[in-house]
């Protein structure tokens, strides 16, 4: 398997297990900025942590403070290792742009349609710095 994506926010190569959300999420009020745990009571993945995952987002619910939550996650070391987004949510991604300006390690964000995100759920993935996604078979075995 190899997927080519559009790079929204560039970053170094990363690997991690894909957490593919099954419903859109609002970062503000939906993710605890200190722990990275999903706290939205109505979200199907409530209670899971997004920290260190390759987080696949089928959609986001816009809150103007979503960027602040993402920046806080980066600062606290609880951010996802990378974001895969169906559509670029500029408000959310501003959190990554600001993290980069602050000189903090910035997870990359790649654009990947929701229907291509679903089959990645639970897989250990390698993301190259040029936006290619492959399965990390060695680590999975």
Among 17, 48, 94, 128, binds another protein (CB under 8 A): 94
- Active site annotation includes 22: no
Q: Which is nearer to another protein, 101 or 115 (CB)?
A: 101
- Return d(Cα 74, Cα 72) in angstroms, integer: 5
By CB under 8 A, residue 32 contacts another protein: no
| Residue 108 touching another protein (CB under 8 A) | no
Closest contact distance (angstroms) between CB of 60 and another protein is 11
Sign of CA dihedral 6, 9, 14, 20: negative
Q: Which of residues 33-92 bind another protein (CB under 8 A)?
A: 33-34, 62-69, 71-72, 74-76, 88, 90-91
| Of 119, 123, 93, 118, nearest in space to 108 by CA | 93
């Amino acid at each position: 398997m190899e997927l080519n994506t559009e790079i929204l926010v560039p970053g170094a190569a990363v690997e991690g297990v894909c957490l593919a959300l099954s419903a859109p999420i609002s970062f503000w009020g939906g993710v605890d900025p200190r722990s990275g745990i999903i706290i939205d009571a109505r979200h199907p993945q409530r209670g899971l942590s997004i920290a260190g995952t390759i987080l696949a987002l089928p959609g986001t619910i816009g809150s103007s403070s979503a960027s602040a939550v993402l920046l806080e996650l980066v600062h606290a070391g609880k951010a996802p290792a990378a974001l895969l987004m169906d559509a670029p949510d500029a408000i959310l991604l501003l959190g990554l742009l600001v993290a980069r300006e602050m000189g903090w390690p910035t997870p990359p964000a790649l654009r990947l349609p929701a229907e291509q995100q679903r089959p990645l759920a639970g897989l250990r993935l390698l993301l190259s710095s040029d936006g290619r996604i492959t399965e990390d078979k060695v680590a999975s075995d």
